[in-house]
Structure 1
Amino acid sequence: MNREPDWSLWRSFSAVVKHGSLSAAARELGLSQPTLGRHIEALELALDLSLFERTLSGLKANEAALRLYEPVAAAETALAQAAILAQGAQAEFSGTVRITASAVVSNYILPTLLLPIRERYPAIAIETVPSDSPENLLLREADIAIRMFRPTQLELVTKKLGDIPIIACAHESYLARRGTPGQPVDLRSHDLIGFDRSDAILDHAESIGLSLRREQFVLRTDSQTQLWELVRAGLGIGFAQKFLVERTPGMVALGFDLAIPMLPVWLTTHKELFTSHRIRAIYDALAEGLIDYINTPTS
């Protein structure tokens, strides 16, 4: 070895092994393709070792590269962990906090919660990540997560804030046109709004003795926000968070219980980040706001 390679060369090497091409690796790292190519050449020169086979379809990692990739990937994870530790050690009420939550929570609940938080901590910038798929807190894809399930990783700090009922609902304009169902069996004669690929609603209806057919769901989507907007527009009967229904003008909760499982609300962060003053401040403020949202009755 002529000299110890700079970490930027190893980072480029790792991206090329993962993606198998300079172009895809360059997109991930935000570098130009020629720069990435020079990084690979410089690493091979520093190691005095060939790492890739140049093919028409891209760069193919050879046996030596594959042996090197595992410790390099472990080093990347360790550096991400070090960044978490460094961030946790910061004691300032300034900087940025990144929050991830479901699309419904992010769009319809979080904005109201953030208003008093921004007033209390104006120097802390907030980044939000609306996502219905879990973000990996351990690799710093988010600092704080609002989850509708209990996280299980030991490295996380979690706090259950309460449960949100899911109810059948419709807009008053739809009920004015089609009438209000008085019992679950009446749903069969109404326009229903539900999931596209998921059978969760059909399976639950079957479990409580209410047989519904897919064809009765005349509007179907797997987007939670789209489901809510379709119901809110008066296109049919859907299923949504009780507190969101009660706080939305024109929305009506139907007066029967479908025994839909409650939606648990968990607040989560990495245990090392919990020592950061700004992240702890936002975490505690979010917990306070969500508990208030769950437990405060609507008028």
Structure 2
Amino acid sequence: MRIAEFWLVDIHICMNWQTITFDWNQARAFLVTAEEGSLSAAARALGLTQPTLSRQVAALEQTLGVTLFERVSKSLILTEAGIELADHVRAMGDAASRISLAASGKSQQVEGLVTVSTTDLMAAHLLPDILRELRKRAPGVEVKVLCTNSLSDLRRREADIAIRHVEPDHPDLYARKLRAAPARIFGARSLVEQFGRPLTRDDAPNLDFIGFDNNEELVGYLRAFGLKVTEANIRLGSPSGVVAWEFVRQGLGLAIMADEIAARFPEIVPAFSDIEPVSFPIWLVTHRELHTSQRIRVVFDHLAEGLLKAKLTKI
């Protein structure tokens, strides 16, 4: 179900410790504008005239007493308040969609193949729990997971949905940034503790690192941590993330890994005592069929919900 088809309701939200009531028409107009990136595109998506849509967005800003968009040339850029509100309204819209499907009994009728593209590490360690719940929610949906460390071309239908770490730049694609995920350099406890003291970045030139695919690119990432390393420090690797991570588990070298994956392995510990984690974004991307394909919408929403729950607060 696309956003434009949700029923009209009064929504009560808490902002700045005050309860404010506004019409879903206005919230819907704001959300579609935020996702489409312009008033003209949002008006086409909702079947409204641009002046009507503009009035609805302006009315919402007036009701809330905040500015939701900054007008830059012909583009609309969400303000900080707009970003926060978009997350809340999107969550309400997703919830409304699920309630509607459950009430009509259609949640059990959603069926068909959906191909999801992601890295093999995420597929192996984060997706199983998420897909187990999806099987209960939509048993008629068949999911095929395409494991790749490259960016699948959704426009060529290599996949219906992709989990990426970079924002796509093509207008035919719909992308939702879920969150930022922390990552750091890890090693097997047996390897790290054999030095008898905490490792520091000064030790890096004498350590071995595991390569995942492109060693030159990996050296760039490691140097971003402040490590003075070269490709000579990468003496073992594999284009398979699962295999490379197994090398780390076996104590053959250190590697960069997302905290939420490393936390699943008690034999793995952060390698350096003086290096802070970095963050990388998690994007959920699909093509515009999200608005017309019920099965893709169900899987997209479920993946978003599951990946948000996977967030760690501490390691």
TM-score interval (norm. to shorter): 0.5 to 0.7
Q: Aligned match of 1:168 in 177, 185, 188?
A: 185
Q: 1:231 and 2:209 equivalent?
A: no
Q: 1:128 and 2:128 equivalent?
A: no
Distance in 1 (CA, whole Å) between partners of 2:193 and 2:270 is: 14
Check conservation: 1:155, 1:271, Cα contact below 8 A: yes
Q: Corresponding residue for 2:91?
A: none
Distance apart, 1:163 and its partner CA: 1.3
Question: Looking at CA atoms only, which structure, 1 or 2, has the larger radius of gyration?
Answer: 1
Distance apart, 1:251 and its partner CA: 1.1
Check conservation: 1:93, 1:121, Cα contact below 8 A: yes
Quickly say closer, same or farther: Cα 1:282–1:245, change in 2 above 3 A: same
Quickly say closer, same or farther: Cα 1:218–1:272, change in 2 above 3 A: closer
Distance apart, 1:109 and its partner CA: 1.5
RMSD of aligned residue pairs (Cα, Å): 2.6
Distance apart, 1:216 and its partner CA: 2.8
Distance in 2 (CA, whole Å) between partners of 1:280 and 1:204 is: 34
Distance in 2 (CA, whole Å) between partners of 1:219 and 1:182 is: 21
* 1:67-106 correspondence to structure 2 within 5 Å: 92-106=109-123
Distance apart, 1:283 and its partner CA: 0.6
Counterpart AA for 1:131: T
Q: Aligned match of 1:144 in 143, 152, 161?
A: 161
Q: Aligned match of 2:125 in 102, 108, 112?
A: 108
Counterpart AA for 2:262: V
- Using CA pairs under 8 Å that are at least 6 residues apart, name the structure with larger relative contact order, 1 or 2: 1
Distance in 2 (CA, whole Å) between partners of 1:293 and 1:180 is: 32
Query: What per-residue deviation string (whole Å, max 9, x for no partner) do you get for residues 32-86 of structure 1?
Result: xxxxxxxxxxxxxxxxxxxxxxxxxxxxxxxxxxxxxxxxxxxxxxxxxxxxxxx
Query: What per-residue deviation string (whole Å, max 9, x for no partner) do you get for residues 152-195 of structure 1?
Result: 11111110001122211111222343445432112333333235
Q: 1:279 and 2:296 equivalent?
A: yes
Q: Secondary structure of 1:262's partner?
A: strand
TM-score by length of structure 1 reads 0.62
Distance apart, 1:148 and its partner CA: 1.1
Q: Corresponding residue for 1:297?
A: 313
Q: Secondary structure of 2:133's partner?
A: helix
Q: Aligned match of 2:262 in 245, 270, 274?
A: 245
Distance apart, 1:286 and its partner CA: 0.3
Distance in 2 (CA, whole Å) between partners of 1:213 and 1:135 is: 29
Q: Corresponding residue for 2:237?
A: 220
Counterpart AA for 2:139: P
Check conservation: 2:110, 2:141, Cα contact below 8 A: yes
Check conservation: 1:247, 1:298, Cα contact below 8 A: no
Check conservation: 2:198, 2:273, Cα contact below 8 A: no
Paired residues, number: 209
State percent identity of aligned pairs.
31
Runs (4 or more) in structure 1 with deviation over 6 Å come to: none
Structure 2 unmatched ranges of 5 or more: 1-105
Check conservation: 1:242, 1:253, Cα contact below 8 A: no
Check conservation: 1:202, 1:214, Cα contact below 8 A: yes
Q: Secondary structure of 1:272's partner?
A: helix
Check conservation: 2:215, 2:234, Cα contact below 8 A: no
Distance in 2 (CA, whole Å) between partners of 1:195 and 1:273 is: 32
Distance in 2 (CA, whole Å) between partners of 1:122 and 1:245 is: 30
Distance in 2 (CA, whole Å) between partners of 1:196 and 1:101 is: 15
